[in-house]
Amino acid sequence: MSNSAHIDVEKCENVVTKAVYYRISAFDNYNTGDVSIEEDQIPQTDIDALQYCIDNASDMSHGICDIVDSLLEYQKGVTINGTFYDWDEIKGCFGIENEEEEEEEGQEDTQQD
């Protein structure tokens, strides 16, 4: 069974006080979590939203932490604000470069020895 992960950047309003606030929420089949952000912290792109979650995971709820960890562990994609990004599109956020290039460099180093 597939465990699809989702991240949404949301503008929320308290219906009684009319106070507006912003948050990033994340959920999958097993976890859910959100973090409040200030207006000047609103990510400009979907990838920025993911990067915010990765960079701040240790300060966020366990749910978001677990979701970010599972993306990396299973090298799977994520739906951000309704758009799906596969692993190849997001792996750079985790500091993982093109694996094929790394393998080729390793083979070249071995051949040079």
Report yes or no on 1 lying in a domain.
Answer: no
What six digits make up the tokens of 26? 């994340």
Tell me the per-residue pLDDT of 33-64, one tens digit each, with 9 for 90 and over. Answer: 899 999 999 999 999 999 999 998 877 778 89
Is residue 46 classed exposed, middle or buried when 0-12, 13-18 and 19+ CB atoms within 10 A define those classes? buried
Average pLDDT, the chain: 88
At 1, the pLDDT band (50, 70, 90 cuts) reads very low
Report yes or no on 75 lying in a domain.
Answer: yes
Whether the CB-CB separation of 79 and 7 falls below 8 Å is answered with: yes
Nearest CA-CA partner of 95 in 61, 51, 48: 51
* Range(s) of the domain holding residue 69: 6-112
Report yes or no on 58 lying in a domain.
Answer: yes
Give me the number of domains the chain comprises: 1
Q: Which amino acid is at 32?
A: T
Nearest CA-CA partner of 28 in 77, 86, 87: 77
What pTM was estimated for this model as a whole?
0.81
pLDDT recorded at residue 9: 98
